[in-house]
Structure 1
Amino acid sequence: MRMRSSLWLVLLLAAAPAFAQETPKPDEEPVIASSDDPDAAETAPAKVPLEEIRRYVSVFNAVKEAYVEPVDDKKLMHSAIRGLLLDLDPHSTYFDKSDAEEFDEQANGSYAGIGVELMTQADNTLKVIAPIDDTPAKRAGIKAGDVIVAVDGKPLPSDDSMSPLRGEPGSKVRLTIVREGKDKPFDVELVRENIRIASVDSRLLEPGYGYVRIKAFQADTGADFQKQVDALQAKGKLRGLVLDLRSNPGGLLTAAVQVADDLLDKGTIVSTRGRIPISDSEFKATPGDRLDGAPVVVLVDAGSASASEVLAGALHDNKRARIVGSRTFGKGSVQTVLPLDNGDSVKLTTARYYTPSGKSIQASGIVPDVAFQPEVQAPRLIKDGDKTFQVIDDKGSVIDFSEAALPGHLRGDDEGKEGYAVGDVLDGDGYIAKALAELKKPGVTAQAEKPTSKR
């Protein structure tokens, strides 16, 4: 019904066996490590610290016996499990069975809901990362950066703030939204529907110049991209392509790799590195370029995240494309979905990804070669050295539309540098025209040798 706070950069690694090998057999006692062994966490990371388990049981019993109202055991355990992941980073979370099923549906591009990418904030409100094209949210005028504070007039529940958005297709839902520049919250009514996302659109901007927009990276995005490019080529040989990744919240890493491979003749696309060997991987391009070396310009903005940044970084570092627009969101981490025996799952951050040049864009994003300014200048987020991010507009409002401003985010390699400023959300067709103008300029990046076309 809605997309998760993962921004959809999910590498579905077969990691479960690596973890399962540490699980004791049914007739064995679990291995317990004493908490007064300072090296226990390093030498035996799978062992459970006995003193910390005792502490948890004590708190659990205190809540059960003394809290002002009765507390359901299952609800209390779920809260404890979610709390275990809460302080790791904003993208690690626990999925119960229904959440896991919805997550799978969304990765496949079909689900019931309003069509918006959301992230749960520390105060339990929902921040809009991006509305999805041609969905109830987009048609209702919901914008990136909006904050949902209530649904149908009720505050969002603490255990699962997204649950009130669920409902049958055709049912109505009323969102209370806080928006920068608005003096007070306002309501928007939407009708839920079956969301079937066509992740790739295309058209000719003018003879010889194509335009492809990728809205999200789903299981079929790579195949759809190939079909759209081939359809454009059938109308006449392309002299250049504008690839629009604005407000694309990401998705399946493998889909982004496939698109990059279709535009690259050789070179590294992306690599990932984590603490366990299975998290370390490298993807390389295979020979052949679907555009036969025609130049490419990639249009990005502050809503371009995760898999979008993988693709933009791959094309830029391989000198295959010029990046235009605004600094991207800066989500450079990989989440692995680990299924549990009871049907639930843990979505855990297991690695960082690196562009071909070896750069991690975590918390810094990709800086465009050519920056576009928003038509209406938005408040900006500034970081000076190691000082805290502060962004204040003329009305004293605060904005934090970037990975670097999320509480508990993984620290990036470039954090602390002077002059960091968050990117802007660039809405409208005017930026497509600007990107086309850049595409036509002499010296736009293209491969020196004409490769063999991939078909």
Structure 2
Amino acid sequence: MLRKHLRHPLIAGIAISLSFSISGHASEATSPDSTEASSDENAIQIQQELPLQDLRTFTEIFERIRSSYVEEVDDETLFNNAIKGMLNSLDPHSAYLQEEDFSDLQENTSGKFGGLGIEVGMENGLVRVITPIDDTPAERAGIRAGDLIVSLDGEAVMGLSLGDAVERMRGEPGTPITIEVRRKGEQELLSFTIERAEIKVASVRTEMLDSNIGYVRLTQFQENTGNELKSALQKWKETTDLNGLILDMRNNPGGVLQAAVGVVDTFISEGLIVYTEGRTPLSDVRYHASSDTLMPDIPIVVLVNGGSASASEIVAGALQDHGRAVIVGTRSFGKGSVQTVLPVSDTAAVKLTTARYFTPDGRSIQAQGIAPDIVVEQSEVTPNEQRYYKESDLPGHLENPDGENTSGTADASNDDTNKSDDLISRDFQLYEAHTLLRGVAILAPAAKKPAKSEQ
């Protein structure tokens, strides 16, 4: 019955193959933010409802292109482009992954690939920079989150698919590429010539700040991010009396969902972390915290901004809902969907959006993002240059009865800024997070002391 309406034998073959693929099992997803595989019951229902009239229209258009297009196009190219168009029209994250694309996906989740070091998406036909990855050629060249890439080596991006644009940006380490970007607030296009490099992304970076406050920078969520974080925190726990922790997920584009669950589980000992909902039963998944929690009580400040997406938002949302952290910064990106990789052959797969994820309190992050508890815009820390004269500077001032030397303290008492490391002094959001945790550390001992009574 189906074959009767399909004029070209290749079309008939692909339709039969489509029916078989839909009915067969899909392997467990391995892409970032993926949790589930397809369902036979739903697949059979879809197969029974294949729109034959629409398939006839498709075959008619296919034949017209084959016979009348100004240049000859082979059947495989037409089919591949049709599949890409079908998926690209759904949402920005669904895609057809051919052999090279699938390899790139595996490289991204493992943390090693070649190129510039930027996470990108499509916006009105242009490539939008979601975030430059820390310590990569793009970040060092000055590429910023929100930049719109309009040309690559002089070739306009408009009209290219996201996959084509990414392919052009990748290349052999050491080879240059010139990109032009449109940046908000700039009147003219900005041009950057960047030398490609092998990108090895360390997903967890740590540093101890003043007042025994730990700083953890999560650049993205790779397969081992949760374990790397726990290992770093365990060393601190054994050697340092931590007063607080700053979890910096600014410009973190996300990654593997299970890694985000592992990060949250490091700080909470019970309750829901995240859950997903979709059309198939296997899309409904719930992740709960385990009782084996490394740091259930340490005060936490989480830093987020518009470049914090996906798995970053899962972590921020879960810690916020559980009251385990204060979220500081600006509203996050707002990607609250799950992608599943469904193999269709040995060398190709479909990356399909199959579910939405929700925070423990049932909030959908999709197109909304995580709103910080304390909004802090980014800027550089500006030192106070004004010189204040104090009592100790006045000629003939009375000495302190305790005998402490107060001379020369005007410059040294600059709120411990002189001891702050360069990281804090350059980063206002981090500075505010550090100040907040210092306040918590100061108040914590006072809260435990019994109230003084008058004698």
TM range (shorter): 0.7 to 0.9
Contact 1:271 1:356 (8 Å CA) reproduced: yes
Contact 1:238 1:291 (8 Å CA) reproduced: no
Going from structure 1 to structure 2, the CA distance change for 1:283 and 1:142 (only over 3 Å counts) comes to same
Going from structure 1 to structure 2, the CA distance change for 1:214 and 1:444 (only over 3 Å counts) comes to farther
Q: Distance in 2 between matches of 1:232 and 1:238?
A: 7
Q: Distance in 1 between matches of 2:276 and 2:438?
A: 34
Q: Distance in 2 between matches of 1:323 and 1:190?
A: 34
Q: Name which of 37, 51, 54 aligns with 2:53.
A: 51
Q: Name which of 344, 354, 357 aligns with 1:340.
A: 344
Give matches, 1:137-286, under 5 Å.
137-156=138-157, 158-159=160-161, 160-286=164-290
Q: Name which of 121, 124, 134 aligns with 2:123.
A: 121
Going from structure 1 to structure 2, the CA distance change for 1:351 and 1:45 (only over 3 Å counts) comes to farther
Q: Name which of 97, 102, 105 aligns with 2:104.
A: 102
Partner SS state of residue 63, structure 1:
helix
Q: Distance in 2 between matches of 1:444 and 1:329?
A: 34
How far is 1:180 from its partner?
A: 1.7
Contact 1:10 1:337 (8 Å CA) reproduced: no
Contact 1:298 1:322 (8 Å CA) reproduced: yes
How far is 1:167 from its partner?
A: 1.2
Q: Which has the larger radius of gyration?
A: 2
What amino acid does structure 1 have at the position aligned with 2:202?
A: A
How far is 1:428 from its partner?
A: 5.4
Partner SS state of residue 207, structure 1:
helix
Contact 1:295 1:445 (8 Å CA) reproduced: no
Quote the residue 2:80 is aligned against.
Answer: 78
Quote the residue 1:62 is aligned against.
Answer: 64
Contact 1:295 1:444 (8 Å CA) reproduced: no
Contact 1:321 1:444 (8 Å CA) reproduced: no
Q: Distance in 2 between matches of 1:152 and 1:44?
A: 44
TM-score, normalising length: structure 1: 0.76
How far is 1:11 from its partner?
A: 1.4
How far is 1:168 from its partner?
A: 1.1
Partner SS state of residue 84, structure 1:
helix
1:357 aligns with 2:345: no
More helix by share: 2
Q: Distance in 2 between matches of 1:355 and 1:46?
A: 36
| Stretch moving more, 436-445 or 190-199 | 436-445
Going from structure 1 to structure 2, the CA distance change for 1:444 and 1:310 (only over 3 Å counts) comes to farther
Give CA-to-partner distance per residue, 1:422-450, whole Å, 9 cap, x none: xxxxx95221110112223459999xxxx
How far is 1:362 from its partner?
A: 1.1
Q: Distance in 2 between matches of 1:172 and 1:265?
A: 49
Q: Distance in 2 between matches of 1:64 and 1:443?
A: 72
* Residue segments in structure 2 that go unaligned for 5+ positions in a row: 1-30, 381-424, 445-455
How far is 1:58 from its partner?
A: 0.8
Give CA-to-partner distance per residue, 1:18-58, whole Å, 9 cap, x none: 359958xxxxxxxxxxxxxxxxxxx5456422111110011
Give CA-to-partner distance per residue, 1:280-300, whole Å, 9 cap, x none: 111110114322511111111
Quote the residue 1:438 is aligned against.
Answer: 436
How far is 1:155 from its partner?
A: 2.4
How far is 1:223 from its partner?
A: 1.2
Give matches, 1:379-418, under 5 Å.
none
Contact 1:64 1:70 (8 Å CA) reproduced: yes
Give matches, 1:8-19, under 5 Å.
9-13=32-36, 15-16=37-38, 18=39
Identity of aligned residues (%): 42
Q: Distance in 2 between matches of 1:445 and 1:220?
A: 36
What amino acid does structure 2 have at the position aligned with 1:130?
A: T
Going from structure 1 to structure 2, the CA distance change for 1:442 and 1:171 (only over 3 Å counts) comes to closer
* Residue segments in structure 1 that go unaligned for 5+ positions in a row: 1-7, 24-42, 377-426, 447-455
Aligned residue-pair number: 367
Q: Distance in 1 between matches of 2:94 and 2:318?
A: 25
Q: Distance in 1 between matches of 2:42 and 2:279?
A: 17
Going from structure 1 to structure 2, the CA distance change for 1:370 and 1:277 (only over 3 Å counts) comes to same
Partner SS state of residue 165, structure 2:
coil
Contact 1:322 1:445 (8 Å CA) reproduced: no
How far is 1:72 from its partner?
A: 3.2
TM-score, normalising length: structure 2: 0.76
Q: Distance in 1 between matches of 2:443 and 2:33?
A: 30
Q: Distance in 2 between matches of 1:214 and 1:444?
A: 27
What amino acid does structure 2 have at the position aligned with 1:287?
A: S
Quote the residue 2:131 is aligned against.
Answer: 130
Q: Distance in 1 between matches of 2:239 and 2:437?
A: 19
Going from structure 1 to structure 2, the CA distance change for 1:431 and 1:100 (only over 3 Å counts) comes to same
Q: Distance in 2 between matches of 1:11 and 1:372?
A: 32
Q: Distance in 1 between matches of 2:118 and 2:440?
A: 39
How far is 1:105 from its partner?
A: 0.8
Contact 2:110 2:223 (8 Å CA) reproduced: yes
Contact 1:148 1:178 (8 Å CA) reproduced: yes
What amino acid does structure 2 have at the position aligned with 1:145?
A: G
Partner SS state of residue 178, structure 2:
strand
Q: Distance in 2 between matches of 1:148 and 1:179?
A: 9
Contact 1:321 1:445 (8 Å CA) reproduced: no
Quote the residue 1:386 is aligned against.
Answer: none
